[in-house]
Amino acid sequence: MTAPGEPDRVPPYVALVRIGAVVGMSTAMAFAIFFFIAGHWPPGLIALALAVPCFLIMRLVENIAGEPDTPPGTETDAE
C-alpha cells in the first residue's frame, strides 16, 4: 500500500518492455527514414509499419500491469 502522495510503483518487467519497445520503434523509424531518403518506398513503408507493433505491445503490457492512464494526483477517489 502506498502513501497518499506517493505514486504507484510499476513492475520491473514493464520498464524492460518499454525499453525494448522504444529501441524497436526507433530502429524501425531509422530504417524507414534511411529507405525513404534513398528512394526505396516499399522497404521504407515496411520498416515504418514495423514500428506499430512495438507501440502496441508496450501499451498492452502497460494495461496488463494495471497502470492508470491518468497522471498521479488527478484521481477522483470519493472519500
pLDDT score, position 9: 79
- How far apart are alpha carbons 13 and 67 in whole angstroms? 13
8-19: average pLDDT? 87
21-37: average pLDDT? 96
**Is residue 14 scored above 70 in pLDDT?**
yes
Q: Burial-class residue 28 by CB neighbours within 10 Å (0-12, 13-18, 19+).
A: buried
Query: pTM for the complete prediction?
Result: 0.68
Higher-pLDDT residue of 36 and 68 is 36
Mean of all residue pLDDT scores within the chain: 84
Provide the grid cell at 73.
494526483
pLDDT score, position 78: 55
- How far apart are alpha carbons 19 and 76 in whole angstroms? 30
